[in-house]
Structure 1
Amino acid sequence: MSDRRRINGPPGATRPPTFVPSPDAAKVRHQRLRKPNELRKTFLQTGLVPSASGSAYLELEGTPGPKSALVPTSSTIKLSCAVHGPKPLPRTASFSPNLQLSASVKFAPFATRVRQGYVPNSIEKDLGLHLENALKGVLLPDRWPKSAIDVAVTVLEGEDDEDGDRFTGAALFNLLAAAINVAMTALVDAKIDCLDILAAGVSAVVPGADTKPVRILDPAAIEHEELLSSCVVGYLPSRDEVVEVWSSGGMSQQSEDGLIGYDDLVDSAIAAARGAQTVIQAVLLESVSSTQTASKKAVTRDNDIEMKT
């Protein structure tokens, strides 16, 4: 007699199903529908976490993938950031005249095809270090002595690279740039004094139609079969300063217009950062205007109540 309280497996051996992408998926995958200097559309919003001092949510527009693929690739980036502080350091900590910044990047368990663990891996540690270095260049640490601030970025979804893996090459740089942008928005939402609005952008050099290298802005890894070089830059537009640079690949490529060097690649990333700064400014102005409107309505409502009483 079988046990009805348990789900018994099949009596014989079984073979798990294997999902193979269709041959047409590769043809549609490596296509860039945007112009070389065109950025992806960005959705940015503040006030995501009410319990935090400041928070923000960022999402990049994804490239439409092939419908025939069983496991379609993704080029969408979704991040959330929460800022806690400034808060006093523990009494046991030594006196510090400057603000202590702690930045971390954590993948959600469902952010990748392979489920992520709770122990931070090497990619998360590298992203956290680069994010912390970039934010240190924009904060005013002497404003809050013996204080600390925590910036926590959560990766809800990341884009695929050309091999189908996650968070390598250009996908890693796009993730860092998005983390810097969403963290800067959350810091301003937390009313933290900063030198400027920090923005990050990514540029790359890819083979053109006639095998000549071409510079592009905001490269999506699944749109290009090969990336000759790529670079991410954290930039302060008003001060014209670069606070973070991370590059990979060969830095000298011969194109139709001449030799593409490291300076040209950085200039393209700065142009992408300026585009991201425009989005951040628009969202912050909208957030301030909505807050002022809400405060005016609250004052008017209080005055009406006092007059009625």
Structure 2
Amino acid sequence: MATGRDSRRIQGPEKSISYTVFQQKEKKPFLGADGMRIDGRSAIDPRKLFMNVGIISQAKGSSYLEMGNTKVCCGVYGPKDIQRGNDFKLTGQVMCEVKMAPFSCVVRKSPQPDKKQREMSRQMKEALESVIVLEKFPKSQIDVYLTVIEDDGGALAACITAAGLALCHANIDVYDFLIGTTVLWYGGVMYVDPSLYEEEYECSENYTLETEGGHLTIGMMPNYANGQVSLMLQEGQVSADNLCEGLDLAVEMCQRIYTLSKKTLEDYIDQALSDEAAITVE
């Protein structure tokens, strides 16, 4: 008699939590003895970045992005006819859903989307609606699905960049690449592309009126309208002057990521053309 249980492995209950979560761990400092970050980066150094397109064969456009240990996969479907019963609009509509894999965090995530995932989906939808040329898709809907395979900090920024790359791969008309990045304030210094440990360390601090702390996440189109920002999310206590300085640093970081995104798409197109030419010759 066939069952859904794997008898070859000892499985725990669905809501089980690893014992390592309850172990007392020595809190490491935010910076090492040499003044560098725990992973050896300076304040303005991002994590290693890898991106690729065309990984989901069933999707019209797809992308995969690694930002350090943060891993995100994105699939774009459509444009397709709007289902009956939805609000009628002459412009196109965007449906975006962000899901975090159950194994993406130390504590297992429920398959059902929680408040954080629903909020990320809403933020992504607003960002994508400003980058897609919706007037070219009347009475149509574009579906964007994002899966966070591993969350090690900067998940929203990684989702923004992955979605922008997948839209271009899907041949959807956009105003420009959509690029995301995060800047964190700690101890009066701005740190680019924080890891999950750095985000949690900063959130554990108790700030007063004399101290500042927080982080800023933006999604922008670097070459459209001299760098138009489509999403800006700031949390914490930061002065207006430091916020402007952090925004300038985030914009500079987006320009660097934009170069890699463009190169990734160009390499994919060159490879596709080479494969097509080889098939034609044969």
TM range (shorter): 0.7 to 0.9
Residues 73-119 of structure 1, C-alpha deviations (whole Å, 9 max, x = no match):
xxx20110111111112355554211110011001111122222222
Superposed displacement of residue 265, structure 1: 1.5
Q: Deviations over 1:199-226 (max 9, x none)?
A: 111112221xxxxx11221122424743
* Other-structure match for 1:216: 191
Measured in 2, the distance between the counterparts of 1:276 and 1:109 equals: 28
Mapped contact 1:109–1:117 kept (Cα < 8 A):
yes
User: What amino acid is the match of 2:89?
Assistant: S
Q: Which residue of 2 aligns with 1:205?
A: 185
Tell me: CA distance 1:124–1:296, structure 2 relative to 1, closer, same or farther (3 Å). same
- Code of the residue aligned with 1:233 in structure 2: it is I
Does structure 2 conserve the Cα–Cα contact (< 8 Å) formed by 1:202 and 1:273?
no
Partners of 1:193 and 1:176 lie apart in 2 by: 23
Cα distance, 1:26 vs. partner? 2.6
Aligned-pair identity in percent equals: 28
Counterpart position of 1:243 = 230
Cα 1:88–1:17 shift into 2, 3 Å:
closer
**d(CA) in 1 for partners of 2:54 and 2:25?**
42
Following superposition, the deviation at residue 299 of structure 1 comes to 1.5
Displacement, 1:261? 2.2
1:277-296 → structure 2 map (5 Å cutoff) = 277-296=258-277
- Residue identity in the other structure for 2:44: N
**C-alpha separation between the residues in 1 aligned to 2:141 and 2:173?**
14
Give the Cα separation in 1 of the matches to 2:160 and 2:47.
Answer: 16
Return the alpha-carbon distance in structure 2 between the equivalents of residues 94 and 176 of structure 1: 28
1:105 aligned residue? 98
- Within-5 A mapping of 1:22-61: 23=26, 26=28, 31-61=38-68
Gaps of 5+ in 1: 1-15, 62-75, 160-170, 208-212, 253-258, 302-309
Q: Name the CA shift for 1:200/1:94 in 2 (closer, same or farther; >3 Å).
A: closer
Distance in 2 between the 1:229 and 1:117 partners?
A: 28
Paired with 1:271 and 1:56, the residues of 2 have a C-alpha distance of 23
Q: Residue 283 of structure 1 aligns to a residue in which SS?
A: helix
* Aligned partner of 2:215 among 227, 230, 233: 230
d(CA) in 1 for partners of 2:108 and 2:190? 34
Could you list the per-position Cα deviations for residues 38-76 of structure 1 after superposition, in whole angstroms to 9, with x for gaps in the alignment?
Answer: 111111011111011011111122xxxxxxxxxxxxxx2
Query: Does 2:264 align with 1:274?
Result: no
Mark the structure with the bigger radius of gyration.
1
On the 8 A contact 2:217/2:232 being kept in 1, the answer is yes
User: In 2 relative to 1, CA 94–260 (structure 1 residues): closer, same or farther, beyond 3 Å?
Assistant: closer
Return the alpha-carbon distance in structure 2 between the equivalents of residues 277 and 17 of structure 1. 41
Q: Find the counterpart in structure 1 of residue 144 from structure 2.
A: 151
Structure 2: stretches of 5+ with no match in the other structure: 1-17, 204-212
Q: Which residue identity lines up with residue 226 of structure 1 in the other structure?
A: E
CA contact (8 A) 1:105 1:127 kept: yes
How far apart, CA to CA, are the structure 2 residues paired with 1:122 and 1:223?
22
Equivalence for 1:186? 166
Distance change in 2, residues 1:293/1:115 (3 Å)? same
Q: After alignment, is 85-94 or 122-131 more displaced?
A: 85-94
Q: C-alpha displacement at 1:260, in angstroms?
A: 4.6
Task: Report the CA distance shift for 1:17/1:296 in structure 2 as closer, same or farther (over 3 A).
Answer: closer
TM-score, normalised on structure 1? 0.74
Q: Mean alpha-carbon deviation: is it higher for 182-191 or for 216-225?
A: 216-225
Instruction: State the SS of the aligned residue for 1:97.
Output: coil
1:79 aligns with 2:72: yes
Give the conservation status (yes or no) of the 8 Å contact 1:237–1:274.
Answer: yes
